[in-house]
Amino acid sequence: MTRGILTSAFEPSPETLDAITRRFTKLLSDDVLLDVVIDARLIAGVTVDIAGRLYDGSFKGQLEQLRANWIG
């Protein structure tokens, strides 16, 4: 069992939480349990911090990536 943190800009629906959990279970080839945190600073989207790695699917993360590319 691998535990992780799902941070979401909005409260995820049970279906969404289940889909994300299954996706990471398949990815890590292990049972996954996600703790949910709501953070409006993400603007939209989610991040998953699991197995020592941060998977970022949020607008905030995209903006940060953009900032890093432009500003350095």
Partner 1 sequence: MQIQLWSIIAHVINALILYLAFRLWLYKPVKKVLDERRRKIVDERNEIEAMNEEARNMKMHYDQVLARAHEDAARITTEANERSKQKAAEVIEDAKRKGQELIAQAQRMADLQLEEARQNARRESAQLVIDLTEKMLARHVTLGDHENLVKQFMDGVDGK
Contacts of partner 1 in 9-68 (CB under 8 A): 9-10, 12, 16, 19-20, 23-24, 27, 40, 43-46, 48, 55-60, 63, 66-67
Q: How far apart are CA 72 and CA 65, in angstroms?
A: 10
Q: How far is the CB of 70 from partner 1 (least distance, A)?
A: 4
Q: How far apart are CA 41 and CA 26, in angstroms?
A: 28
Which residue type occupies 35?
Answer: D
In angstroms and rounded to an integer, the radius of gyration of the C-alpha atoms of the chain is 13
Binding site for partner 1 (CB under 8 A): 8-10, 12, 16, 19-20, 23-24, 27, 40, 43-46, 48, 55-60, 63, 66-67, 70-72
